[in-house]
Homo-oligomer: A and B are copies of this chain.
Amino acid sequence: MPRDTDPITSSVWVRPSRARRGEQPTLSREQIVRAAIELLDAEGLSGLSMRRLGAKLGAGATSVYWYVANKDELLELALDEAMGQVELPDPAVADWRSAVGDVVRSVRTVILRHTWMAGLYGIHPAIGPQAMRLSDRLIGVLTAAGFANLDMAYASSLLMSHAFGSAVMDVAMHTATALAGKDANDLVRQLEPYMDRIAGEYPHYAKWWAQNKGADMERMREDGFEFGLQRLLDGLESWLRSDA
């Protein structure tokens, strides 16, 4: 794909997808991105290589480069495509708390479904069309709720931060335990002697641990996310009331 040095027009999002002239050019950007996501879902971030992607598409390894400038760019496209799976808020819902809550929950769900997304957020900003569409709807709900200008932007990025942050932390835990081939609870149980040994260095942690070692990890993550979401909405709501 011919390069363009202008940082604006060279962005993936402005450069048009390759147009087909005749009938079927056997490959397309959408098809490539879809295949990349399948590979990423099945094998993780390190499982995606241009050669394997080419093979999966029944094409030469380097043919992909006609539709996509970079592996980085491909990942950017895949990330945005996956973001498109987030369920958008229904603008008809009057209760902004539940509307906003549903979006945040959906973002988290999508990231947990495509765990490779977690490692990508720190590299590519979410400014693709799907992410924009999501932002747009969120802005709509928040302005209807009473937020405006900078406060609106702050509120929306706070909500997104929570979805990203907690999902990323969950994914990290999940992959770590999955890599050990264990369920999270098993792993925690096995860690007990280690915890006892270092208890002296982390007194507060050890004390808490002694009282809560029975908790179900999977359940905790879910409940913790929901708890945080509610506190966050509480904070926004009370601010909204005190300001208006």
Contact = CB atoms under 8 A, between A and B. Distances in A.
Interface of A: 7-8, 14, 115, 117-127, 129, 132-133, 135-137, 139-140, 143, 149-155, 157-158, 160-166, 168-169, 171-173, 175-176, 180-182, 187, 190-191, 194, 198, 201-205, 208, 211-212, 215, 220, 223-224, 227-228, 230-236, 238-239
A140 B208 CA distance: 10
Contacts of A233: 235
Contact of A149 (B117, B125, B212): B212
A137 B117 CA distance: 30
A88 to B, nearest CB: 12
B161 A165 contact: yes
A135 B208 CA distance: 11
A173 B135 contact: no
A154 B190 contact: no
6 contacts: A115-B122, A121-B122, A140-B203, A164-B164, A165-B168, A232-B232
